[in-house]
Amino acid sequence: MKTREPLTPPYHIYYPVKVAKSKIAGKGAYALQSIPARKKIGDLGGVIITMKEAMRLIKNLKVINLVELEDDLALNASANPNDLRFINHSCEPNTYLRVLRNRVEFYALRTIKKGEELSCDYGETHHEGTLPCKCGAKNCRGFI
């Protein structure tokens, strides 16, 4: 049986961010310059692993950054990371993520001001609606 070696896709950050204390949770990613609407901010760094390995990590770690990909794979952004892993969840986000084969890309939903914290609606997560949301948005769903 052939096993897959962890794969690290090439990734880039086109609009650099600063990591600092977040108003949402823990640390956050803040724009170092204005980011125009609909522009690609960058690719989430990480290592591609199997979903089986991802589920094992989820059970054993308190905090992990994972995005499910195609073909029973996941991007583990906790390994070989970049600063985009600090984009926190918000029910009223200013970015969105796009999964494209073995890449996770972030785009600006609207113009993002210099110094503004980047946020993304995580959608469905392995928390299955049990993790309280602390985004503070007027339309906050209450849970992630």
Work out the burial of residue 123: count CB atoms within 10 Å of its CB; fewer than 13 is exposed, 13-18 middle, 19 or more buried.
exposed
Whole-model pTM: value is 0.84
What are the pLDDT digits (tens) for 55-85? 888 777 666 687 888 888 888 888 888 999 9
* Number of Cβ within a 10 Å radius of residue 121: 17
- Average pLDDT estimate for 41-51: 91
Domain spanning 17-120 has what CATH number? 2.170.270.10
Taking 60 as the threshold, does the pLDDT of residue 104 lie above it?
yes
